[in-house]
Every structure is written in structure tokens, then in C-alpha cells.
Structure 1
Amino acid sequence: MDTMRERFITVTSHLLDEDPRLALVLAEISMDGFRPAQRAHPERVINVGIREQLLVGVGGGLALTGLRPVMHTFASFLVERPFEQVKLDFGHQGTGGVLVSASASYDWPAGGFTHMSPGDVALLDTLDGWTIHVPGHPDEAEALLRHAYADGDEKVYVRLSQLSNGAPRPVDGAGFLTVREGSDGVVLAVGPTLDDVLAATEGMDVTVLYATTVRPFDSAALRAAVGTGPADVVLVEPYLAGTSTAAANDALADLPHRVLGLGVGRAELRRYGTVEEHTAAHGLDPRSLRERITAFRQSGARR
């Protein structure tokens, strides 16, 4: 199976042939995969080198000319380093474009903390009007990329990862999916966390929701899953823990509820390790998730 990043290269290359409005801006990352597209469309496939602020600035300029710019590099260099350009060149200027990241929270541990971005979604959450997609499988990545490219002049972030669930789910770029139904709590799994969440909650009487579009937050789906309350809700996100806790609390503001936000911890792990070791260290492997979810549910039962 190809990776999400490989699928991004394939899909975007094909769409550059089909859509004369689409433009791609790179900062060296993935350039080798896009060389055929650059030869075919030199005016719409631009490599600015390792200049990430310029990457976003050029994308913003292309948007002002009426093109649909796609900007791509590692998440830490796409959202965190050029955040001022993202804020001003798209938000302040009132333009639209698509940010497509790679490497996510800790997908390349050998790159160290400079190449990790667990806070990217939380950072974009400080800005208005961004749609955020977090696919959990290459097929979902393709569907969400196509949706993002065709999404008029909207501001969209597509967060790609090396991690993947075993099978794709039908995604529409909008609401949450119900994967398993239960009557004693809700667990919301985001993107590539779904398989581990399903393994962790096996045998539990909980509803499992699946989110690949996290902004806008699907408050209606969460409320429907919770019912009339009281309810325990666990959020399992592949980025900074607690990123969506406020959104979940707002969705359930008039109902008795508790929310536990699980995700990547704030403490920097100062060993390279493997992706699997980082997942376990952040308590996001199936065994750790089961222990944490069980403890949360039991603490509620003692109230």
C-alpha cells in the first residue's frame, strides 16, 4: 500500500493536468516526486527551496491572482515556522489555499524535535475559518485532498501521516462517522488513531465515532451519540492532547458530561526511538489507551 504522502503526489500531479487553476508550491520536500509535474507545468509547480515563509507567501500571492495554491512541506515547517504568513497572507488578505503537511506529530523520530509538530492543529485553531482534515488512510487522504482542491476559495489544512489504519472508511469532508455503537460513553478517534481505539475499546459498551474532518467540529454528531446525558466522552487525537476538548465541551454545554482529552503530551521526548515507541510513550497504543479509558470511566462510576 502506498503512503498518504505518495498518494498526495499521485493525485496532485494528475489534477495539475486537469485543472488549470491549481498551482503547487514546494520547499524542496517531495520535489523528486513532482519533477514530472514541474516539467509539464513549470509555471504552476514552483520550488522555492528551503524557505518556508516564502513558501506560504508565494502561495498567498498566487491566490490573489485567482489560482488555487497548494503548499506542501513537513508540518513543523508548514504551520509553525511560517505561522505569521499563514495568518496574514491568507486570513488577513481574505484568500484561500490548501496546506498539505507531511510527518505529522512524530512520524520521523530520527529528525528530532525540529521535525515534529504535535501543536499544528491547536495553532491553526487560533485562526478563523480553517477547515482541517486528518485522514487515517491513503484512500481517505485522496478523497479529502480532492475535496480540498475543489473547495472554492476556502482555507484548508490536510494533515498527512505515515501512520495508517488498516482499511479506509467512507469520508465526505464533513461529519463524524459512527463506527461502533454503545450505551455507556463515547470515544472519538481522529484519523490514524482509529484502529488502536477500536482495539482498546473491544468489549466496552461505548460508541466509537471516527473523525477525519476535525474543523469545523461536528457538534451535532457528538450530541447525537451522547443522547440526553450524563455522558463520558474521550477524545483520542494524534496531535496535542486536549486540542478539541473545548470544542467538545461547547457542543455539550447544556448537558451533564465529562471529557478526557488524550493525545500527544507536551513534554519533549528526548530520544529518537521508533514511531511505535513514541506512540507508546504518549500513551496512545492500544494497551495504554484501554487503561486510561477504563480508569476514566471507573472514576465516573464512583461519583
Structure 2
Amino acid sequence: MDTMRDRLAPVVSRLLDEDPRVAVVLAEIGRDCFTEASRRHPDRVLNVGIREQLLIGAGAGLALAGMRPVVHTFASFLVERPFEQVKLDLGHQDVGAVLVSAAASHDWPAGGFTHMAPGDVALLDTLDGWTVHVPGHPDEAETLLRHAVGAGEAKDDKVYVRLSAQSNGRSLPVDGQRFLTVREGRRGVVVAVGPVLDSVLAATEGLDATVLYATTVRPFDSTALRRATGAAGTDVVLVEPYLAGTSTATVNDALADVPHRVLGLGVGRRELRRYGQLEEHVTAHGLDAATLRERITGFLR
């Protein structure tokens, strides 16, 4: 099966053909995937070199000129390194862009800690007005990319699409807004974000718990959560493929008027200083099915 990132260039290249507003801004990473699109649209496929601050600045400039820029590189270089430009060039200037990341929290361990970004969503949470999509399957990534760019819709909002090498076994009909209920129970709610769904389903097999699937986490679907907790009780477990607890405050806000408990599971703050493999990082952070089952079961008891 192809990866989420494999879908990026074909989808965005088609959008370039369909909508003259769409532009692509790269910082070396991914440039070979857009070779043909660059030949067809040399004025709308830009490579700024290894200059991540300029990457965001160029995207903001295109947005100020009325374009819909799609800006792409690894998450650590897209959100963390040029954060001031994300804050000012996009946020302060009140223009939008579609930031599409790769490498997620630890998808390429051989790249070292410089290529890991478990805090990207939490960092964007310090800014106003961002939509955040976290697809869990390549088909969902394609759907959410198209939704984010909005070809022909004159969209100008700020959207972050977090692509990952991790994937669930099957796609679900995501719409860029709502959580999906994939399992119903009566003794707690587990919210699985993006590519952790398969592990969560394995971890909760046989448990009397509701499982919600979230691929759009900002805005957070508080309505779906409140509906689920009304039927299953107000013990909530969040399983996120990035920094543990990123959405805990959001859940607390959604349930502020009722007594509740929240357990936030995700990537820990401790830096793992050996490269290892992706699966080893998942296990080390307790996001494998066996560890999730132990922690979820203990909490819901």
C-alpha cells in the first residue's frame, strides 16, 4: 500500500491543473515529486531551497496576492523551525495557507531528533484559528488534502495536514469536521486520533467502551464527545500520535459542566536517544496495543 505522503504530489498536482489559485512551495524536500507539475506550472511550483523561514514567508506572500499556497516539508521544519513566521506572516497578516507535513512524531528515526516533531500540534494550539487534520490512512489523506485546499472554493483559512508513515488497515469516510463512532459501549469513551485507531481497536477488544475516531482535531468535535459520554459515561481516554495530553484541555472544556476524568496518552516528553525503528518508538512511548490495553483498562476500572 502506498503511504499518505505518496498521495501528496498526485493530489496537489491535479489541484494545480484544476485551480489557477493553487500554488506549491517547497524547501528542497519533496521537489522531485513535483517535477512534472513544475514543468506545467513553473510560476506556481516554487522551491526556496533549505530556507524554512522563507518557505513560510513565500507562502504568506502568495496568500496576500490571492493565491492558495500548499506548503510542504518535514513537520519539524514546517512548524517548529519557522514558528515565528507561522505566527506572524500567516497569523498576524491574517492570511491562510495549507501546511502539509511529513515524518510526524518519529516516522524517520534515522534522521534523529532534528527530524521528530511530537509537539507540532501543541505548538499550533498556541495560535488562533488553525484547522488541524490528522488522517489515519492514505485515502483519508487524499480526502482531507482536497478539503483543506478547497480548489474552486476561494478558501483562505489556515490548515495543517499532518501526514504519517503509520497507517490503519482501512480508510473510513471522513469529512474534515466530525468524529466517527466506530464502536459503542457503556463504560467510558476512547478517542483515537488518526493512525492509532487500529491499535486502539485491538487494545479495547472485548471492553465495554465507546471508540470515537478523530481525523480533524481542531476544531475539536465537542458535540460528538458529549453525545458519546452521555451514553457511555464521562471517563475519557485520549490516544494521540503526538505529544501526550495535547487535547486534554480541549476535552476538559467540552465537559466543563459535568464531573469527568481524562487520561491523555501519546508521545512522551522524554527523548529517546537511539535511532531504532518506527515500531520501537511506538512501543517505547506506550502506543502499542498491549500497553494501551493495560493503561486503558486500568483507567476505566
TM-score surpassing 0.5? Answer: yes
Unaligned runs of 5+ in 2: none
Match of 1:256?
A: 259
Q: Which amino acid aligns with 1:267?
A: R
TM superposition outliers: structure 1 runs of 4+ over 2 Å = none
1:164 aligns with 2:160: no
Give distance in 1, aligned partners of 2:29 and 2:138: 19
Cα 1:198/1:79, change in 2 over 3 Å: same
Write the distance in 2 (CA, Å) between the matches of 1:294 and 1:166.
24
- Within the alignment, does 1:57 sit opposite 2:57 as a pair? yes
Q: Distance in 2 between matches of 1:278 and 1:153?
A: 36
SS of the residue corresponding to residue 227 of structure 1 reads helix
Name the amino acid aligned to 1:219: S
Q: Counterpart in 1 of 2:102?
A: 102
Contact kept, 8 Å, 2:189 with 2:229, in 1: the verdict is yes
Q: Identity across aligned pairs (percent)?
A: 76
2:293 is the alignment partner of 1:290: yes
Change (3 A) 1:3 1:228: closer
RMSD value over aligned CA atoms? 0.9
TM-score of the two chains, using structure 1 as the length reference: 0.97
Q: Give the Cα separation in 1 of the matches to 2:232 and 2:56.
A: 44
Q: Shift of the alpha carbon at 1:296?
A: 1.0
Aligned 1:135-284 pairs, distance under 5 A: 135-150=135-150, 152-227=155-230, 230-284=233-287
- Hey, what's the Cα distance between the residues in 2 that align with 1:272 and 1:288? 21
Structure 1 portions without partners, runs of 5+:
299-303
Task: Note the 1:14-33 alignment, pairs <5 A.
Answer: 14-33=14-33
Q: 1:102-159: per-residue Cα shift (whole Å, max 9, x none)?
A: 0000000000000000000000000000000000000000000000001611100000
Contact conserved, 1:27 with 1:49, CA < 8 A, in 2? Answer: yes
User: 1:19, 1:4 → 2: CA distance?
Assistant: 22
Q: Distance in 2 between matches of 1:4 and 1:213?
A: 16
Q: Which residue of 2 aligns with 1:85?
A: 85
Aligned positions, number? 298
Query: SS of 2:37's equivalent?
Result: helix
| SS of 1:58 mapped into structure 2 | helix
For normalisation by structure 2, the TM-score amounts to 0.98
CA drift at 1:17: 1.0
